Amino acid sequence: METLDGKRLEREIKKVMDAPVSMHLSVRRFPGFWVTQPMPPEINTPEDALEYARRLAVRDKLKVGLTAGDRGTIWFDETGRVVSRTFGDE
């Protein structure tokens, strides 16, 4: 395993943190059946993704999870309320 000096480690961490994170939705269409779907191409920011997921949950009266890469998932109930959060390292 390679040991990184302070400056190089800082650059590597910044590169990872600045990398785009792919987001997708997990939607419970009916009990026991989840569908994974990509975000629409017009959704470009985490804020837009949160609002889109919330509106989808309310509109279709479904449970929806918004996953941002390995950074975790935010879960919405059928009313659009955040009910839980899971993190990628759990």
> What gap in Å lies between CA 65 and CA 19, rounded to an integer?
22
Residues of the domain holding 52: 20-86
Domain total for the chain? Answer: 1
Contact assessment for residue 51 and residue 61, using Cβ atoms and an 8 Å cutoff: no
Q: What is the pLDDT of residue 82?
A: 92
In a domain, residue 8? The reply is no
Read off the pTM: 0.71
pLDDT digits (tens, 9 = 90+) for 32-69: 899 999 989 998 888 888 999 999 999 999 999 998 87
In a domain, residue 4? The reply is no
Task: Output the average pLDDT for the chain.
Answer: 83
Q: What is the pLDDT of residue 83?
A: 92
Contact assessment for residue 68 and residue 46, using Cβ atoms and an 8 Å cutoff: yes
Q: What is the pLDDT of residue 69?
A: 72
Query: Is the pLDDT higher at 52 or at 6?
Result: 52
